[in-house]
Amino acid sequence: MDWTRTRHKKLLRRCCLAAARGESPGEVSTPLAIRQDINQNGAVASIEKFRSWVECNSYSSDVAAVNSMGKILSDNFLQLGLDESVFEDEQGVRHYLWATKSWHQRKDVVLVGHHDTVFPSGEFDVWEPDADSIRGPAVIDMKGGLLVVDAALSRLSENGELESLGLALVCVGDEEVGSPRSAEWVAESVRGAKFGLVFEAGRGNDKIVVCRKGTGKMKVTFGGLAAHAGNHHAKGRNAIVAASKFCIEVSNLTDYAEGTTVNVGLIEGGTAVNTVADRCEVNLDIRFTENSIGDGLAQRIRDVANNFATDGIVVEVKGGVSRPSWKSSPENIELAKSYGRYAAKHGLSSELHPLVGGGSDANLIARLGIPCIDGLGPRGKGFHTIKETVEIKTLKQRADALYDFLTSGL
């Protein structure tokens, strides 16, 4: 279905009805009104730019798609006169750092984003504007966040205030899969920065994120021996059965009180219902609050898996901790307070968010000892689902808060 066209028709109809009732255009929201809202005071350059970003699929596993989005952003940020560094990883995905000239002398602030998404092409190709919101892939996670950054930097550039800031924007193409290939390069590139601002989706109540759980991904593959289920069942070695017992055992390592979870998220195995399964693959997601717990947990999972490597079953374990836990610190809280003053000035909450289960690149930046805050993108709902929606007015609120903060004498 063409969502955009349907929605436009509905909005146009409402506009006509309002005109017939003698209401002013301002009382009805149309795509045109949305554009005007966002352009107000030049805080966000263009709804059409946003649309082109959202409509450019950039699924993490599609190298060409991620790089197309990277090129769009590269063209955009080079226009602001920023220097560009590009890191192409072993899969060919390009990660970017755009920096002012002053950054090379004085690393005041690093802004952190990503341009990959969780949606394969064809799964959620939607641009659906409504009166106050837009539904589409990555409108909050995090092309909306990148638009907020673009708006603030454009305004700084127009006012001749950008070059004097020691500022860089780092933007990676593998964040949604845990930043496995970009993490080291990001660490080298931003080490020594005074603080970091991360533009992941704003929380429902705008609260500022100052800590996140650590995360990890593990893949455990069980190999057995195929046999005909009727004639030679006893000769087979069933990989699915071994994997099932393993799944139950590692799921029991979950400890909600401690904040530790082991999620069996994906399982795949077997070849036919009448064949003893000779292969089964299990994918796990792990979350934890303390790094010592995370390392111990990954090792426990490896040990449990290896215990099944008997009687003709072979086991292979890959992965482990991908993002360390990000602990709150007095420096984070001080930074949140400083930024929060400007958030409040523009109608957003300045409160701190409780511990967040999902990791982000803030975990990696904080590991370098750089005070950090996150969740500075626009408000919305449904990220990582086909209900992902951004509240339009918060794009401008976030952009204004960022501009004011960056011009407050860092």
Interface stretch with Zn ion, choices 48-56, 71-79, 192-200, 230-238 (CB under 5 A): 192-200
Options 15-23, 138-146, 279-287, 371-379: segment touching Zn ion (CB under 5 A) = 138-146
- 7 vs 143, which CB is nearer to Zn ion? 143
106 close to 410: Cβ distance less than 8 angstroms: no
Interaction between residue 142 and Zn ion (CB under 5 A): yes
Distances (CA, A) of 231 to 21, 169, 226, 274, 275: 79, 63, 12, 10, 10
What is the distance between the alpha carbons of residues 48 and 85, in angstroms, rounded to a whole number? 27
Segment interacting with Zn ion (CB under 5 A) among 25-33, 68-76, 197-205, 315-323: 197-205
Q: What is the nearest approach in angstroms of Zn ion to the Cβ of residue 140?
A: 9
Tokens of 392: 């339009």
Q: Nearest residue by C-beta to Zn ion?
A: 141
Instruction: Select from 60-68, 94-102, 122-130, 134-142 the region that touches Zn ion (CB under 5 A).
Output: 134-142
Choose which of 54, 70, 141, 186 interacts with Zn ion (CB under 5 A).
141
| Burial (Cβ within 10 Å: 0-12, 13-18, ≥19) of residue 117 | buried
- Rounded to a whole number of angstroms, the minimum distance from the CB of residue 381 to Zn ion is 14
CB of 309 to Zn ion, least distance (A): 37
The answer to whether 77 and 92 have CB atoms below 8 angstroms apart is: no
Whichever of 87 and 199 has its CB closer to Zn ion, that residue is 199
* CB nearer Zn ion, residue 100 or residue 322: 322
CA distances for 278 relative to 34, 219, 246, 271, 351, angstroms: 56, 17, 16, 8, 53
Size of the site for Zn ion (CB under 5 A): 3
CA–CA separation, 103 and 105 (whole Å): 5
Binding mask 200-219 vs Zn ion (x if CB under 5 A, - otherwise)? x-------------------
Identify the CA nearest to 384 among candidates 111, 206, 175, 149: 175
Backbone phi and psi for residue 121, each to the nearest 5 degrees, phi listed first: -55, 135
Span near Zn ion by CB under 5 A; candidates 94-102, 141-149, 234-242, 285-293: 141-149
Using CB under 5 A as the criterion, which residues of the chain lie in contact with Zn ion when the complex forms?
A: 141-142, 200
